[in-house]
A and B are shown apart, each in its own frame.
Chain A
């Protein structure tokens, strides 16, 4: 948990070109190896009441941060965002907030697709491989956690 992990430096040796070459008859040709670098998701708007949930920070710390915003921060609503694997955690945080508020809080979830970019860099600069990028989609969730207006509720 304590090791410093930079997301942009987590290089996974990408052997996808080697995989396809082995199926064809070209065996002598050295497959070009790539390093897959995942770029960070594109910067999203960040208001005071936006919480972007990740999988690195402790769950309880993120839950406490949301509670602090709603109780101490004086916000009537906050927005909890989660991308990919963090969707589960975002939902969990929202449901925990709702459960601990004795039903005072309401949830409104929206889903979306986020386009992510990966860089493929050749391992060996002498090889013929050129740097490439690859876009892929990932799912995201945006949960509005709010105190409903008393006038509308009646």
Chain B
């Protein structure tokens, strides 16, 4: 079901292989590591590559340490920009990371770019001597630049920093308010509203 959209554009190249693909073994998978789709970026910028299995807490712990406070890392350099990129099923996670980081570090300008990423795959046949095949797949990808310095507002995909209203920072106090006799769970770190169960977001 969720492969439907991801493989839409690649169906032309992959449909011929579809029947016996299960017997093939993928031996290499190289991503087209082209330049950033965002113009005018420094080469040594902090680039967070969000994958499908990356943990958001790991990514954000690293990124917030470099961005928050004085923004000084071990080398003593100031970090004013960070790029998050992800493709395929990692796109949602990339956006979630960016949204949480924007709440943690205030006043970040943002530019988002969408593009297709090409992935070359080499498949090996299980029979000895039989030729393997190479496949080219394209997956949707996103690349988001967050910057403490102002960016060009005319750039497509620009978003100005958001004004955070009040101290209702959901990222900070994530406790589980529940009935008194059960201990709070660390795993289900969600907010529960007990009294006001008809509450609607305004």
Interface residues of A (CB under 8 A from B): 16-17, 19-21, 23-24, 26, 42, 55, 59, 84-85, 87-89, 91-92, 94-96, 99, 106-113, 115, 117, 119-120, 129-137, 139-141, 143-144
Q: Is the CB of A109 within 8 A of B114?
A: yes
Q: Is the CB of B114 within 8 A of A94?
A: yes
* Number of B residues with CB within 8 Å of any CB on chain A: 49
Q: Is the CB of B156 within 8 A of A139?
A: no
Query: Known contacts A87-B95, A91-B114, A120-B192; can you find 8 more A-B pairs with CB under 8 A?
Result: A20-B185, A88-B6, A88-B140, A99-B9, A111-B159, A133-B196, A135-B190, A144-B156
Residue B183 is within 8 A (CB to CB) of chain A in the complex: yes
Which residues of chain B have C-beta atoms less than 8 A from A91's C-beta?
A: 91, 114, 140, 142
Q: Is the CB of B159 within 8 A of A110?
A: yes
Q: Which residue of B lies closest to A119 (CB)?
A: B197
A58: min CB distance to chain B, Å: 9
Closest 4 CB pairs of A and B: A108-B156, A109-B112, A139-B95, A91-B140
Which residues of chain A have C-beta atoms less than 8 A from B178's C-beta?
A: 17, 132
Q: Is the CB of B193 within 8 A of A107?
A: no
Q: Which residue of A lies closest to B196 (CB)?
A: A133
Chain A to chain B contacts (Cβ below 8 Å), 12 pairs: A20-B183, A88-B88, A94-B114, A99-B9, A108-B158, A109-B157, A111-B98, A113-B99, A130-B179, A133-B192, A134-B190, A137-B99
Which residues of chain A have C-beta atoms less than 8 A from B62's C-beta?
A: none
Which residues of chain A have C-beta atoms less than 8 A from B156's C-beta?
A: 106-108, 144
Q: Is the CB of B157 within 8 A of A108?
A: yes
Which residues of chain B have C-beta atoms less than 8 A from A59's C-beta?
A: 4-5, 8
Known: A24-B182, A139-B92. A92 touches B140 (CB 8 A): yes
Q: Is the CB of A117 within 8 A of B114?
A: no
Residue B110 is within 8 A (CB to CB) of chain A in the complex: yes
Q: Is the CB of A42 within 8 A of B95?
A: no
Cα(A139)–Cα(B144), bound, Å: 14
Which residues of chain A have C-beta atoms less than 8 A from B199's C-beta?
A: 117, 133, 135
Residue B167 is within 8 A (CB to CB) of chain A in the complex: no
B29: min CB distance to chain A, Å: 19
Cα(A59)–Cα(B3), bound, Å: 11
Which residues of chain B have C-beta atoms less than 8 A from A20's C-beta?
A: 182-183, 185, 188
Q: Which residue of B lies closest to A112 (CB)?
A: B99
Identify which of B8, B110, B200 contacts A92 (C-beta below 8 A). Answer: B8
Q: Which residue of A lies closest to B97 (CB)?
A: A139
Cα(A84)–Cα(B93), bound, Å: 9
Q: Is the CB of A88 within 8 A of B92?
A: yes
Q: Which residue of B lies closest to A93 (CB)?
A: B5
Identify which of B98, B170, B185 contacts A137 (C-beta below 8 A). Answer: B170
